[in-house]
Amino acid sequence: MVLFELMWRIGINSVFMPSSSILPIAAGLLHHDPIIAAHDHAFLEVAVVASGKGEHQSVHGFETLTRGSVVIIRPGAWHAYLGCVGMSVANCVFAPELLGEDLAWVCRDAQLQKLFHSQLTSPQHKGVLISHLDEEATQLCLSRSEDVSAALASTDRPNRIEQLARLALFLATLKSAATIAPVEDSVRPIGHPVVRQAIRLFESDLRHSWSVPELAAKMNIDASYLSRLFRQVTTLPPIHYHNRVRLEQAAALLIRTDEPIGNIGEQVGWPDQNHFARRFRGHFGVSPSLYRQQFHDKKA
């Protein structure tokens, strides 16, 4: 399991519940000095700089980080830290499914809904969002990150509700992580059951080439209503969202495995390697082979 690998590598607190009640969260204060090589994740990562400075590298290029800088990374997106000088980071990672299930109510807040979905998943941001907190929000965010870590470190009687509550409070401090314009009343929370069900269908079989009418028939709803609702919640049409999930998985496989590129394309639903390469380049800006060349040997 990838999260176990992460915990082993960076040594931060986490907790897992047995069998189907797994609660995949990890949190702690990390020291990035002087470099963290390019890598990707299979989970959402939120990093808040507590001290020092450094350069953050992603598909968008380089950006200087200082105290209060916030980095949010979606699964499949890659990033790296370079030239770090005394930089410590409050890091929190968790399964994105929590925002659609246990913490679906959190994203009923319009600002968080926009931050984690409309902004982070947009073609402009490509799964990487960097912003900055003011000093008051930075102190509060760091304090709540410590609370998450403390809840996860408790070995006596782990309390799932307390852990989720502390994570929710940590996420709430990120509302000021960007100058977010008011969200229209028509935007619905990602917790909407129709959208959650559609996303689960997408993620359950990446090879399947869904059409909107087929997806709507599977869910026994009107196709036009499904498309309209999906756009309101995610800003993307259903099939575009599915393609993004496929590309994120392909990027993760390119970095973590030595499988042939053609096999990876087939696993995510594009058996024609040229077609897969065009799709990948259109999203990440480079070909699958160049992406692997740049990051496969540098993953943390």
In a domain, 40, yes or no: yes
Beta bridge partners of 94: 25, 44
The residue out of 176, 210, 232 marking a domain boundary is: 176
- CB distance 245 to 235 below 8 Å: no
In a domain, 39, yes or no: yes
Mark whether 199 and 57 lie in a shared domain.
no
Which residues span the domain enclosing 256?
A: 193-294
pLDDT by residue (tens digit) across 192-207?
Answer: 778 878 888 888 888 9
Mark whether 221 and 135 lie in a shared domain.
no
Q: How many domains does the chain have?
A: 2
In a domain, 131, yes or no: yes
Which DSSP string corresponds to 27-39? EEEEEE-S-EEEE
Give the count of beta carbons closer than 10 Å to the beta carbon of residue 211: 11
Mark whether 170 and 97 lie in a shared domain.
yes
- CB distance 45 to 72 below 8 Å: yes
pLDDT by residue (tens digit) across 127-146?
Answer: 888 888 889 989 999 999 99
In this prediction, residue 241 carries a pLDDT of 84
Mark whether 120 and 16 lie in a shared domain.
yes
Range 87-100 average pLDDT: 87
In a domain, 182, yes or no: no
Q: Output the furthest CA–CA distance in the chain (Å, rounded).
A: 56
Please report which confidence band the pLDDT of residue 262 belongs to, taking 50, 70 and 90 as the band edges: very high
In a domain, 124, yes or no: yes
In this prediction, residue 23 carries a pLDDT of 54
Give the domain CATH number at 93.
2.60.120.280
Give the domain CATH number at 235.
1.10.10.60
- CB distance 129 to 83 below 8 Å: no
